[in-house]
C-alpha cells in the first residue's frame, strides 16, 4: 500500500456552488493548506456566526500509471462538520460527523491514466445541522474546515481492511479483516510481532513481552502480511498497540492487576485564532504538557474523539485516555440518534488499537437518561470492542447505569464544603465509579484575575484532588479543564471565553497548574516550587495579603527574607492530608528577626509576631475579632516590647 498525503495546495471558497466541483469552473479561490480553519478567529468576543459556512475545498491530481488495477481510497481524518466528496463533478459520499475520519473509494470515478481529476469537498459547519453536537446550546466553539490530514491510499484489489488487536496480559488476538476481490481464492494471513522501535525479537517475543502502563508505556507493532496462493505478498499492514489488562470494579480501576488512582483533566482540541486546525506537533505538545508539565496519568477527550497524533503520543508517553462520542447535553430526533450510534461505530473502529484508551464514553455528555438509545450505543461499543469498559458522562445522580462504570460530573464543591460527594450519594451501583469533571464553571479564573482569586482557584483544585484521594471507592477524577476555550454566547465571561483552564488558551500555566505539577515525585521530575503570591500588596484589597501557599513536591522548603532564614516548611504541615504534596500555608514572614535584629525579648516577640502577621494578612481595618480576644493586652505587649526597651 502507498499513502500520499494531500495536505498542500488546496483551493478554498467560503461559499459552495455546485459548479465549483466541475473541471471547467474558473472562479477565484484562496490557496490554503490543511489543517485549515474556515475563519481566522479573533482572540475573544466574536460571534460564532463567523465560522459557520457551507464552503468548498478543491484540488486537482493526476491518475498515475502505477494506479492501474489498484484501488484508490481517499481518507479525510477530520472535517467540521458535514462533508460531501465530489470527484470530477460527481458526488460520491456524505459524512456527518466533525470528529471522526471517513474514507471514500475513488477508484471507479477516476479519469484515465495521466488525466487530471478534480477532487472537491463541500464542508458545512453550520450549527443548524441535524447531527451531534448540534440542536441546542453547546459550551465550546465548533469551528469549521478540514482540520485533520487528507490522504490517498493506493491498494491492491484485495487488501487488509482492518486489524484489531486485543490483549490479555501478555497474550493477544488479532482480528484481521480482509477486503477480497475474489472470495474463492485462498489467501494466507501471517502476523509478525516486533517492538515498536522496529527491533525484531531475537528470541520468542512472547517471553519478552513487557506490559504497557503510564510508567512504562511499552509499545509493539504487529506486521500483518497477506499473500496469495503462490506466496506473493499482496498487502501488509503495521498496527501499533500495547499489552495491558484493564479491570474496573467497585473497588477501583486496575491496570495490569495494579490499582491506579486516575488523576487527569479534560481537554478541548481548540487553540486561539485557528480553532481546531493545529498540526501534529501541537497535538504532541498538548499530550506532553498533560503528562510532563502537569504530571497527569489521564486525559478525557471532551467531548469528542480527537486527533490520532494526540492519541499516538498518549500511547507513547503513557497517558490514559477517556474518549467519547460527540455531543453536549442535547439528544435529537431519530435521525440524530442514528448518527450518534454511527459515531460510536466510527470512534471504536478507528481508535480501538490505542493502548492509552481505557474506557469508551457512549453517552452524550450530560444528557438525560434515554435507555432505548443508550442500550444501542453501549451494546455497539461492546460488540466492536469487548476488551474495554464503557462509561457515559452524566450530571444526574442515581441515573440508570447501562454501562460498566458510573462516570459523573461532580460539581458539588463550592469552596467551603467537602471537595466531592461520596459515591453512595451519587449511585447505588456495585460497579466502578469515576468523577469526570469538577470545578470549571464553579470558579472561572483568568490569568489576569487578581492574586487572591488565582490562589483560590488553585486551592479549589487541591481541595477536590485531596477529597478524591481520600475516597477509596472513587477510581479517580478528570478536572475541568486543561485550557481556557472559546465558547458560545450562552457561556463564558461575556467575551466568548470560558476561563476554566488550569492553563490559558496559549497553554501558559495558572497557579492551579502547579497544584497538579507538584503531585509528581521530585526524584522523577525534579523539584517543583511555586509561591501563590508575588508579594505585591497592590494585588490585594487594602493591601492585605491574605493566605499565601507554597506549592511544592519538595520534602522541605526553607524560607529566607533577604538571605535571612525565616522558617522551614515540610509537607506534613499541609492541610491537604490525602495528597502526597499538598499546598503548605505560610504562617511566618519574620522568623527570629524581632529578637535578633530589634533586640525584643523572646517572650514579647511571639505575640508581636502574631499581631504583625495578622495585620499584613487581614489589614488594619479587618482584623478578626479573635485577634482582639487573644491579645486584649496588646497595648501592654507593645508598651513592654517597644516603648520600655
Q: Which of 366, 403, 451, 456 is catalytic?
A: 366
**How far does CA 594 lie from the centroid of its chain?**
51
* Helix H or strand E encompassing 343: helix 334-351
The angle at the Cα of 209, spanning 350 to 1, to the nearest 5 degrees, equals 40
Shortest spacing between CB 456 and ligand GAL, in angstroms: 16
* Contact assessment for residue 97 and residue 350, using Cβ atoms and an 8 Å cutoff: no
Radius of gyration for the alpha carbons in the chain, expressed in angstroms and rounded: 29
Q: Which of 127, 316, 403, 437 is catalytic?
A: 437
* Contact assessment for residue 270 and residue 491, using Cβ atoms and an 8 Å cutoff: no
* Contact assessment for residue 165 and residue 172, using Cβ atoms and an 8 Å cutoff: yes
Residue nearest ligand GAL (C-beta atom): 440
Structure-block grid coordinates of residue 81: 462538520
The whole-angstrom separation of Cα 32 and Cα 510 is 35
Smaller CB separation from ligand GAL, 81 or 303: 303
Closest CA to 22 of 109, 82, 122, 90: 90
The angle at the Cα of 557, spanning 556 to 559, to the nearest 5 degrees, equals 150
Shortest spacing between CB 457 and ligand GAL, in angstroms: 13
Q: Which residues pair with 233 in a beta bridge?
A: 227
DSSP symbols for 371-419: HHHHHHHHHHHHHH-TTS-EE-EES-TT----SSEEEEE-----SSS-S
3-state helix, strand, coil in the chain (%, to 5): 25, 30, 45
Smaller CB separation from ligand GAL, 247 or 441: 441
Smaller CB separation from ligand GAL, 286 or 484: 484
* Helix H or strand E encompassing 535: none
The whole-angstrom separation of Cα 484 and Cα 479 is 13
Closest CA to 478 of 317, 270, 262, 306: 262
Smaller CB separation from ligand GAL, 143 or 243: 143
The whole-angstrom separation of Cα 500 and Cα 441 is 6
Smaller CB separation from ligand GAL, 293 or 324: 324
C-alpha dihedral, 598 to 601 to 603 to 606, nearest 10°:
0
Q: Is 437 a catalytic residue?
A: yes
Shortest spacing between CB 291 and ligand GAL, in angstroms: 22
Shortest spacing between CB 625 and ligand GAL, in angstroms: 36
Q: Is 333 exposed, middle or buried (0-12, 13-18, 19+ CB in 10 A)?
A: exposed
Q: Which residues contribute to the site for ligand GAL (CB under 6 A)?
A: 139, 302-303, 365-366, 409, 437, 440-441, 480, 500
Structure-block grid coordinates of residue 323: 474518549
**How far does CA 12 lie from the centroid of its chain?**
30
Smaller CB separation from ligand GAL, 310 or 499: 499
Smaller CB separation from ligand GAL, 58 or 454: 454
Shortest spacing between CB 490 and ligand GAL, in angstroms: 10
Determine phi and psi for 642, rounding to 5 degrees.
-105, -55
Kindly report the length of the chain.
Answer: 645
Shortest spacing between CB 339 and ligand GAL, in angstroms: 20
Shortest spacing between CB 306 and ligand GAL, in angstroms: 14
The whole-angstrom separation of Cα 322 and Cα 360 is 6
The whole-angstrom separation of Cα 147 and Cα 622 is 54
Smaller CB separation from ligand GAL, 303 or 352: 303
Q: Is 198 exposed, middle or buried (0-12, 13-18, 19+ CB in 10 A)?
A: exposed
Q: Is 108 exposed, middle or buried (0-12, 13-18, 19+ CB in 10 A)?
A: exposed
Shortest spacing between CB 570 and ligand GAL, in angstroms: 34
Shortest spacing between CB 14 and ligand GAL, in angstroms: 29
Shortest spacing between CB 285 and ligand GAL, in angstroms: 22
Smaller CB separation from ligand GAL, 127 or 539: 127
Smaller CB separation from ligand GAL, 365 or 605: 365
Smaller CB separation from ligand GAL, 106 or 294: 294
The whole-angstrom separation of Cα 194 and Cα 312 is 17
The greatest distance separating any two alpha carbons of the chain, rounded to the nearest whole angstrom, comes to 109
Shortest spacing between CB 47 and ligand GAL, in angstroms: 19
The whole-angstrom separation of Cα 137 and Cα 579 is 37
Positions marked active-site: 366, 437
Amino acid at each position: 500500500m502507498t499513502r500520499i498525503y494531500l495536505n498542500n495546495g488546496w483551493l478554498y471558497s467560503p461559499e459552495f456552488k455546485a459548479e465549483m466541483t466541475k473541471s471547467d469552473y474558473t472562479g477565484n479561490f484562496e490557496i490554503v493548506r490543511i489543517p485549515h480553519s474556515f475563519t481566522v478567529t479573533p482572540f475573544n468576543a466574536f460571534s460564532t456566526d463567523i465560522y459557520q459556512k457551507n464552503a468548498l475545498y478543491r484540488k486537482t491530481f493526476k491518475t498515475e500509471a502505477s494506479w492501474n488495477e489498484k484501488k484508490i481510497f481517499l481518507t479525510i481524518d477530520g472535517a467540521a462538520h458535514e462533508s460531501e466528496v465530489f470527484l470530477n463533478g460527481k458526488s460520491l459520499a456524505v459524512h456527518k460527523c466533525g470528529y471522526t475520519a471517513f474514507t471514500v473509494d475513488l477508484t471507479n470515478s477516476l479519469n484515465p491514466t495521466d488525466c487530471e481529476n478534480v477532487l472537491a469537498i463541500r464542508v458545512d459547519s453550520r450549527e443548524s445541522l441535524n447531527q451531534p453536537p448540534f440542536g441546542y446550546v453547546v459550551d465550546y466553539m465548533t469551528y469549521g474546515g478540514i482540520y485533520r490530514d487528507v490522504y490517498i491510499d493506493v491498494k491492491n484489489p484485495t487488501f487488509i481492511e482492518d486489524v484489531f488487536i486485543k490483549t490479555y496480559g501478555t497474550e493477544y488476538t488479532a482480528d484481521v479483516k480482509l477486503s477480497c476481490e475474489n472470495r474463492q481464492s485462498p489467501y494466507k494471513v501471517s502476523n509478525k510481532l516486533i517492538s515498536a522501535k522496529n527491533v525484531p525479537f531475537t528470541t520468542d517475543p512472547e517471553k519478552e513481552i513487557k506490559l504497557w502502563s503510564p510508567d512504562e508505556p511499552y509499545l509493539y507493532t504487529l506486521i500483518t502480511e497477506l499473500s496469495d496462493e503462490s506466496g506473493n505478498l499482496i498487502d501488509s499492514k503495521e498496527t501499533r498497540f500495547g499489552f495491558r489488562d484493564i479491570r474496573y470494579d467497585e473497588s477501583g480501576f486496575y491496570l495490569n492487576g495494579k490499582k491506579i488512582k486516575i488523576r487527569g483533566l479534560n481537554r478541548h482540541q481548540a487553540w486561539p485564532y485557528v480553532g481546531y486546525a493545529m498540526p501534529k506537533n501541537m497535538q504532541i505538545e498538548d499530550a506532553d504538557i498533560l503528562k510532563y508539565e502537569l504530571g497527569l496519568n489521564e486525559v478525557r477527550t471532551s467531548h469528542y474523539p480527537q486527533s490520532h497524533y494526540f492519541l499516538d503520543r498518549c500511547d507513547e508517553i503513557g497517558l490514559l485516555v477517556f474518549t467519547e462520542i460527540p455531543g453536549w447535553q442535547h439528544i435529537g430526533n431519530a435521525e440524530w440518534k442514528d448518527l450518534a450510534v454511527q459515531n460510536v461505530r466510527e470512534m471504536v473502529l478507528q481508535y480501538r488499537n490505542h493502548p492509552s484508551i481505557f474506557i469508551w464514553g457512549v453517552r452524550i455528555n450530560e444528557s438525560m437518561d434515554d435507555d432505548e438509545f443508550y442500550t444501542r450505543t453501549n451494546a455497539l461499543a461492546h460488540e466492536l470492542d469487548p476488551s474495554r469498559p464503557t462509561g457515559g458522562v452524566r450530571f444526574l445522580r442515581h441515573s440508570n447505569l447501562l454501562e460498566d462504570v458510573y462516570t459523573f460530573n461532580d460539581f458539588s464543591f463550592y469552596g467551603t464544603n467537602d471537595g466531592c460527594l461520596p459515591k453512595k450519594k451519587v449511585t447505588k451501583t456495585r460497579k466502578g465509579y469515576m468523577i469526570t469533571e469538577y470545578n470549571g464553571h464553579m470558579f472561572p479564573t483568568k490569568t489576569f484575575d487578581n492574586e487572591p482569586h488565582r490562589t483560590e482557584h488553585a486551592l479549589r483544585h487541591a481541595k477536590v484532588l485531596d477529597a478524591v484521594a481520600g475516597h477509596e471507592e472513587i477510581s479517580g477524577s478528570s478536572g475541568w479543564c486543561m485550557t481556557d476555550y472559546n465558547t458560545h454566547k450562552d457561556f463564558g465571561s461575556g467575551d466568548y471565553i470560558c476561563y476554566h483552564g488550569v492553563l490559558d488558551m496559549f497553554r501558559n500555566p495558572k497557579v492551579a497548574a502547579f497544584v497538579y505539577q507538584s503531585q509528581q515525585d521530585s526524584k522523577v521530575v525534579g523539584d517543583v516550587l511555586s509561591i501563590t503570591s508575588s508579594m505585591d500588596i497592590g494585588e490585594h484589597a487594602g493591601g492585605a495579603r491574605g493566605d499565601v501557599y507554597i506549592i511544592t513536591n519538595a520534602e522541605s522548603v526553607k524560607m529566607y527574607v533577604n538571605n535571612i532564614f525565616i522558617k522551614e516548611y515540610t509537607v506534613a504541615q499541609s492541610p491537604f492530608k490525602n495528597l502526597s504534596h499538598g499546598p503548605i500555608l505560610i504562617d511566618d514572614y519574620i522568623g527570629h528577626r524581632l529578637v535578633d535584629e530589634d533586640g525584643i525579648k523572646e517572650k514579647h516577640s511571639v505575640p508581636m509576631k502574631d499581631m504583625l502577621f495578622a495585620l499584613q494578612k487581614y489589614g488594619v481595618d479587618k482584623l478578626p475579632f479573635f485577634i482582639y480576644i487573644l491579645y486584649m493586652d496588646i497595648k501592654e505587649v507593645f508598651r513592654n516590647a517597644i516603648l520600655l526597651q
